[in-house]
Amino acid sequence: MDIQPKLIVFSAPSGAGKTTLVRHLLGIEDLNLAFSISAASREARAGEVDGEDYYFLGIPEFKKRIKANDFIEFEEVYQDQFYGTLKTEVERLWAQGKNVIFDIDVVGGLRLKKKFPDRTIAIFVKPPSINELQIRLKSRKTESPEKIAMRVAKASTEMATAPQFDIIIENDDLDAAKLRAEQVVRGFINKKVRSEF
């Protein structure tokens, strides 16, 4: 039985450090990882590049793609702010023989796991506390106090979903979290699973 390309999902409240862990893993060559670029309905922020950071579709186009059933999963994260995974993105990376790694919200992460149960590992990155999360978000200096308050309020709900994930990695020590993430992902990638196609 061949080792099929896998899906590795990282989800967490905003500011927990999932993006840092995903970037670290992408730098480890023998894991054969490729990043799944999510689609977003919002406009690009300063420094973001379409097709690299996100596929910036705009709200009308995003809604059109939902109707066309073009997404594996999507979520209206905040009002009129949609994020999702295009089927074509995963197919493109699997065609290259890559294991696909995701940096997505908790709802999207759990949906992917449900859709491809044998080929997906869902990892929840847990911040040490909500208070620490708030400190991290403030130190980024990228968002207004209102936006930070909104993210912190959402974090409590997201933290409650942690037990539904396969693995919880607490990110209170970044080096230890990186090491744990690498061990978990390496172990999962080397596991044989049946093809779901």
Torsion, CA 17, CA 22, CA 23, CA 25, rounded to 10: 130
Contact yes or no for 68/135 (Cβ under 8 A)? no
pLDDT value at residue 1: 41
Asked whether residue 57 is assigned to any structural domain, the reply reads yes
User: CA 112 to CA 70: how far, in whole Å?
Assistant: 14
Asked whether residue 141 is assigned to any structural domain, the reply reads yes
User: CA 94 to CA 152: how far, in whole Å?
Assistant: 35
Asked whether residue 96 is assigned to any structural domain, the reply reads yes
- Give me the residues paired with residue 7 across strands: 100, 120
Asked whether residue 197 is assigned to any structural domain, the reply reads no
Per-residue tens of pLDDT for the chain, all 197 residues: 456 799 999 999 888 889 999 999 999 999 999 999 999 999 998 899 999 999 999 999 999 999 999 999 998 987 899 999 999 999 999 999 999 999 998 999 999 999 999 999 999 999 888 887 778 777 877 778 888 787 788 888 899 999 999 999 999 999 999 999 999 999 999 987 655 43
Asked whether residue 73 is assigned to any structural domain, the reply reads yes
What single-letter DSSP state applies at residue 128? S
Asked whether residue 48 is assigned to any structural domain, the reply reads yes
What CATH number has the domain bearing residue 168?
Answer: 3.40.50.300
pLDDT value at residue 2: 55
pLDDT value at residue 14: 82
Backbone angles phi, psi at 114, to 5 degrees: -70, -35
Q: Number of structural domains, the chain?
A: 1
pLDDT value at residue 3: 66
Question: What domain range is 100 assigned to?
Answer: 7-189
